[in-house]
Amino acid sequence: MPTGSLETSRESQLIRVAEERRTAGGLAALVERAAPEGGQVALGDIAEIRERVSTDDDAIWFDGKPAAVSDITKTRAEHSLRAIAALNLFLEIERGEAHPG
């Protein structure tokens, strides 16, 4: 997944992450360069990492706060109360990991 780019006077690199990094701190710990002798340069050592949407058109707000839109469907065979319980569990986990605000 492309997560950004690193621009210098000598080169430009597209940064891609194979696993999911959910926070700026997680991206900061991403090793950008490693030497055979064991030395490492983390992305946070050489870059300013900010969490933001790529454009204002991508931002979703509700009552002046960042929000998300979910599209939830179920089949006729699925039990509505079990679907709601699964959704509530998902929301509880996501709210625990979300940034304040």
Q: Does residue 46 surpass a pLDDT of 70? A: yes
In terms of domains, do 3 and 46 share one?
yes
C-alpha to C-alpha distance for 6 and 45, rounded to whole angstroms: 12
Q: Report the SS3 class of residue 75.
A: coil
Provide the pLDDT for residue 89.
93
pLDDT of residue 18: 67
Cα–Cα dist 27/3, whole Å: 9
1 pLDDT more than 50: no
Domain end marker among 28, 51, 74 = 51
Of 51 and 84, which is predicted with more confidence? 84
The number of folded domains in the chain is: 2
For residue 98, what pLDDT band results from cuts at 50, 70 and 90? confident
* DSSP3 helix / strand / coil % (the chain, rounded to 5): 30, 20, 50
Residue span of the structural domain in which 69 resides: 54-101
- Whether residues 1 and 30 share a domain: the answer is yes
45: its two tokens: 């050592």
> Is the domain of 41 the same as that of 62?
no
Eight-class DSSP state of 58: G
Boundary of a domain, candidates 13, 35, 51: 51
